[in-house]
Structure 1
Amino acid sequence: MMAVAAFAPSPPAPRIWPQAGPRRALARAIDRLARAVLLCGRIEEAPCMRLTSFSDYALRLLIYAARHPDRLVTIEEAAAAYDISRSHLTKVANVLTRAGFLNSVRGRSGGLELGRDPAVLPLGEVLRVTEPDMAAAECFGPEEIRDPNRPGALDAAIRDALAAFLQVMDHRTLADLLAEEQE
């Protein structure tokens, strides 16, 4: 006689994001609504480029430091301003400091300041540091994980699109973002 296995529903996946504040919950709700609208086809043209949260946080931290050129900013205050995890922002700050985008001052009255003039800090350069693999699809990964059935023309199209994206980001600077905020 064959035993029939009983399948119990799996437990819900643990939440991997920190305790959500009201702003984060609102942002997630807006994101869900925007995706629903896009899927329903109510918006004709909606450009979408997905970056990691690491790059998003990096750009936000650079913007925050650029908004306060007269003083050092702390990770704690930037994390509170953007409702971001302090530990994630610390990792981001370390990468930005090693790349020379930020200067770090240690000590009791220490903090962070921009390491370069915002007018000559291309966003593409920041993204190349924060998205080192920049893999839009497996076609950019190691040879052994590429799909041999995917046409080479598709790989070329994806490569061209990624190059175009980075070219646009290379022509935008941190100063451009600050100017657009003030308009």
Structure 2
Amino acid sequence: MPAAAFLSAPPSRLSLCPQTAPRRALAGAIDRLARAVLLCGRIEEAPRMRLTSFSDYALRLLIYAARHPDRLITIEEAALAYDISRSHLTKVANVLTRAGFLNSVRGRSGGLELGRNPAALSLGEVLRVTEPDMAAAECFGPEEIRAPNRPGALDAAIRDALAAFLQVMDHRTLADLLAEEQE
């Protein structure tokens, strides 16, 4: 199937094993992964928003905790599951715990658990904590580093784009991500 047809085909047509529910779920995951890989290779046609690895790891850690609501998770197991540095994930967990997104239980049988209901945890809120000085481009940050000869209209356009991005993320929750994952 050509790449363009693959990207535009409905998931039902791409399903590998439609006979059973677990196989459909696996096929859906493969479909989404294949589409993501194809889109990443088409940079000129698929603009990307870049977040720091810190935010990426924070969202992954929250997803991991949400997947295991019946028990405490450890940084070690999440680091292994996502192939992330344990020390970096520890820093992420500390920020998420201070923000109240995760609860930390100390001790030998301790670990982490979600601090809030996944349906009440917006992705925009998480990004505002993990990207406190978020700017759409390096040179479009705080006024003190603003280039003096850059047009103000350009700053306004980029501020509007960033606000629109955060507004979309405010309407998506951790529960939404979990539900999409299971489709």
For the criterion TM > 0.5, the same-fold answer is yes
The whole-number CA distance in structure 2 between the counterparts of 1:85 and 1:21 is 34
Secondary structure of the corresponding residue to residue 104 of structure 2? strand
- The 3 A distance-change label for structure 1 pair 42 and 140 is closer
Deviations 1:80-99, CA, capped at 9 Å, x for gaps: 00000000000000000000
The whole-number CA distance in structure 1 between the counterparts of 2:119 and 2:3 is 68
CA drift of 1:141 comes to 3.3
- The 3 A distance-change label for structure 1 pair 20 and 108 is farther
**Could you say what the CA RMSD is over the residues aligned between the two structures, in angstroms?**
11.9
Secondary structure of the corresponding residue to residue 116 of structure 2? coil
- The 3 A distance-change label for structure 1 pair 24 and 46 is farther
- The 3 A distance-change label for structure 1 pair 178 and 148 is same
Over the matched positions of the two proteins, sequence identity in percent amounts to: 90
Residues 79 and 85 in structure 2, CA contact (< 8 A), matched pair in contact too: yes
- The 3 A distance-change label for structure 1 pair 48 and 20 is farther
- The 3 A distance-change label for structure 1 pair 3 and 72 is closer
Structure 2 stretches lacking a partner, 5+ long: none
The whole-number CA distance in structure 2 between the counterparts of 1:6 and 1:181 is 23
- The 3 A distance-change label for structure 1 pair 28 and 113 is same
CA drift of 1:140 comes to 4.3
Residues 18 and 85 in structure 1, CA contact (< 8 A), matched pair in contact too: no
- The 3 A distance-change label for structure 1 pair 172 and 141 is same
The whole-number CA distance in structure 2 between the counterparts of 1:18 and 1:91 is 42
CA drift of 1:142 comes to 4.0
- The 3 A distance-change label for structure 1 pair 18 and 132 is farther
More helix by share: 2
The whole-number CA distance in structure 2 between the counterparts of 1:153 and 1:21 is 52
The whole-number CA distance in structure 2 between the counterparts of 1:47 and 1:32 is 18
The whole-number CA distance in structure 1 between the counterparts of 2:87 and 2:109 is 20
Deviates more, 1:30-39 or 1:111-120: 30-39
TM-score by length of 1: 0.75
Residues 119 and 173 in structure 1, CA contact (< 8 A), matched pair in contact too: yes
The whole-number CA distance in structure 2 between the counterparts of 1:107 and 1:53 is 28
Residues 122 and 169 in structure 1, CA contact (< 8 A), matched pair in contact too: yes
Q: Which residue of 2 aligns with 1:174?
A: 174
CA drift of 1:146 comes to 1.3
Deviates more, 1:105-114 or 1:16-25: 16-25
Runs of 4 or more above 2 Å deviation? 2-13, 16-45, 137-145
Structure 1 stretches lacking a partner, 5+ long: none
- The 3 A distance-change label for structure 1 pair 38 and 5 is closer
Q: Which has the larger radius of gyration?
A: 1
Residues 37 and 43 in structure 1, CA contact (< 8 A), matched pair in contact too: no
Residues 74 and 111 in structure 2, CA contact (< 8 A), matched pair in contact too: yes
Deviates more, 1:34-43 or 1:96-105: 34-43
